[in-house]
A and B are shown apart, each in its own frame.
Chain A
Amino acid sequence: MKNKSKKICVLVVDDEDVMRNLFTDLLTERGYEVIAVKNGLEAVEKVKEINFAIAFIDVHMPLMNGVETLMTIKKIKPQTRIVMMDSFPNALIEEARREGAITCIHKPFEINEVTDIMEEIVEQKERI
């Protein structure tokens, strides 16, 4: 099933309510289509249905941690760009980079860190 609108689709995977809300509010206002889920399992289900340009994934989550989620998504939709997020220094971030995360942001982050990444993607898409 392909996404119907021409909007860029963003996946947010974070067990924190406030984080999901922030991403949704911030990016929706900028014209992106945001799908926010609580954990890796839900994320994988969504990835099967929708082509996401980018996924912001929190490293620390119950059931399936961020790196496992990253790897699973990459298997299903390898072109999905992955940005990792963490809330304190962690070895998993290094692993995520090795597994293909394009970058990582550390909480608490400034909103322009997120919007800058989004603008990059838009530029890349326009160049293609």
Chain B
Amino acid sequence: MKEQILIIEDDEAFRKTLTNLLKKEGYSVTGVSDGFQAIELAKKSLFELIIADVRLPKGMDGIEAVSIIKGIRPEIKVIVIIITGYTDENAPVRALRMGVDDYLYKPFKMEVFLHSVERNIKMYRLEEEKKEHLEMLEKMNEELNVAQHELIQSKKELEDYSKRLEQKVEERTKQLKETQSQLVQSAKMSTIGQLGSAVAHELNNPIGGILGYAQFILQKLSKPDVVPKDFKTCKQYIAYIEEEAKRCKSIVENLLSFSRKPLIALESVDIKQLIENTLSIIRHQLELQNIKLTTNYEPKLPSISGNVNQLQQVFTNIIINAQHAMPKGGKLNIRVSTKMKDGKKHLEISFKDTGCGIPKKNLEKVFEPFFTTKEDWQSIGLGLSITYQIIKELKGIITAQSKVGKETTFTITLPVSSS
């Protein structure tokens, strides 16, 4: 539909010349001989270029005809070339008023004519392209604006989401810390359960002494014939009572301090002292089971940074495990020495028992939570995993080595405090 040229020229021969010339140039051309025909055609088809002679028959001149044609689709531009003879004096002015792209005076050279057609069509096409490009740019700009707006929106949503995520992570961390604290407590309770029998035994003996002597004293002093010697004897017995009561006190204190929820405060810890304190509760229990306990402490051991309660729990856990591994007795050796690791000074604490050992396939899992090979209710399998966590938090490591049926060694390495 594009290259439509309409020629309005009543001189048939001239019209044919122009038509053929333009057709040769590749344009599609339609020719009519008067204004009325031109208008009818223009209603049906879209012409890019109208070439009109001013002088036309039937009472409508070229300028009028083009003016009406332009009015059919006023929003669409039509190129207009007017052809005229010199005798039409008003024509130029009228044409200009109507809006004309070129004005050719007859006779003209065919090159001039062609050149005008080409030039005007080219310019027209360029204008159209420009308009199209502009429209496209505007459309793209509009789309970009929308996209930018959406981006800003997305960014904001992302920020909101990120903030909410942070909040959730904070909450979750808090929950996890609380759970971990509970787990540690739970494992402790389990360890306390393990200690329970040892402590019951420990406490019942001194209490037995207190009760026995108290009753004995009451008996003695209730006799009718109480003599001074009796008072002396009773005084001795009361001294025994006092001693045994103090013993109960220290056993209970040891157990309470162990079970209280610790503040995770770090302090300078004397490992030798701590191990000895731990042993004071369970040493007896080990003896009862014919476990020979030996300790080797390197002289002048440096202190490490840690939490006393946690470390006591760690040592208790390992020693009780060793005890369980030697139901018919054996040996437990605890050795503390200094060692250089990664250029820094460390304390190495090893617990070696002569128990049943841990098979290789279990050795890898031994620090996993809830891993246990024991059947009794007191073993929920948390002890070593909590131990592992505690040591890890102190920037230390714990390893286990074992020979089945022969021995097991747990080794804890902790960095020496720099202060």
Name the prevailing secondary structure of the A interface residues: loop
- What 1/0 flags go to A3-26 for Cβ under 8 Å of B? 000000000000010110110011
Closest to A62 in B: B287
> What would 21 A/B residue contacts be, using CB atoms closer than 8 Å?
A18-B209, A18-B243, A19-B205, A19-B209, A21-B209, A22-B208, A22-B212, A22-B216, A25-B213, A25-B237, A62-B287, A87-B200, A87-B208, A88-B200, A107-B204, A107-B205, A107-B207, A108-B210, A108-B211, A110-B212, A111-B211
Residues A25 and B216 in contact in the complex (CB < 8 Å), given A62-B288, A88-B197, A107-B204: yes
**Is A111 in contact with B212, judged by CB distance below 8 angstroms?**
yes
Q: How many interface residues does B have (CB within 8 Å)? A: 24
Which residues of chain B have a CB within 8 Å of any CB of chain A? 197, 200-201, 204-213, 215-216, 219, 233, 237, 240, 243-244, 287-288, 290
**Is B240 in contact with A21, judged by CB distance below 8 angstroms?**
yes
**Is A26 in contact with B200, judged by CB distance below 8 angstroms?**
no
- Name the distance in Å between B264's Cβ and chain A's nearest Cβ: 34
**Is A107 in contact with B288, judged by CB distance below 8 angstroms?**
no
Q: Name the contact of A87 in the complex, choosing from B201, B212, B240, B243 (C-beta under 8 A).
A: B201
Closest to A61 in B: B288
**Is B201 in contact with A60, judged by CB distance below 8 angstroms?**
yes
Closest to A112 in B: B215
CA distance A19 to B79 in the complex (A): 130
Q: Name the contact of A110 in the complex, choosing from B200, B211, B243, B287 (C-beta under 8 A).
A: B211
**Is B288 in contact with A18, judged by CB distance below 8 angstroms?**
no
Residues A108 and B237 in contact in the complex (CB < 8 Å), given A62-B288, A88-B197: no
Chain A residue contacts of B243, Cβ below 8 A:
18
Residues A111 and B219 in contact in the complex (CB < 8 Å), given A18-B244, A88-B197: yes
Closest to A18 in B: B209
Q: How many interface residues does A have (CB within 8 Å)? A: 20
CA distance A112 to B211 in the complex (A): 11
Which residues of chain A have a CB within 8 Å of any CB of chain B? 16, 18-19, 21-22, 25-26, 60-63, 65, 87-88, 107-112
- Name the distance in Å between A97's Cβ and chain B's nearest Cβ: 20
CA distance A115 to B244 in the complex (A): 22
- Name the distance in Å between B192's Cβ and chain A's nearest Cβ: 15
Q: Name the contact of B208 in the complex, choosing from A60, A63, A108 (C-beta under 8 A).
A: A108
CA distance A124 to B238 in the complex (A): 34
Residues A111 and B204 in contact in the complex (CB < 8 Å), given A22-B209, A62-B287, A63-B290: no
**Is A110 in contact with B244, judged by CB distance below 8 angstroms?**
no
**Is B288 in contact with A60, judged by CB distance below 8 angstroms?**
yes
CA distance A22 to B237 in the complex (A): 9
- Name the distance in Å between B218's Cβ and chain A's nearest Cβ: 9
**Is B244 in contact with A109, judged by CB distance below 8 angstroms?**
no
A108-B205, A111-B211 given; 20 more Cβ-contact pairs under 8 Å: A18-B206, A21-B240, A22-B208, A22-B209, A26-B212, A60-B288, A63-B290, A87-B204, A88-B197, A107-B205, A107-B207, A107-B208, A108-B207, A108-B209, A108-B211, A109-B208, A109-B212, A110-B211, A111-B212, A111-B216
Greatest chain A CB density within 10 A among B205, B210, B211, B287 is at B205
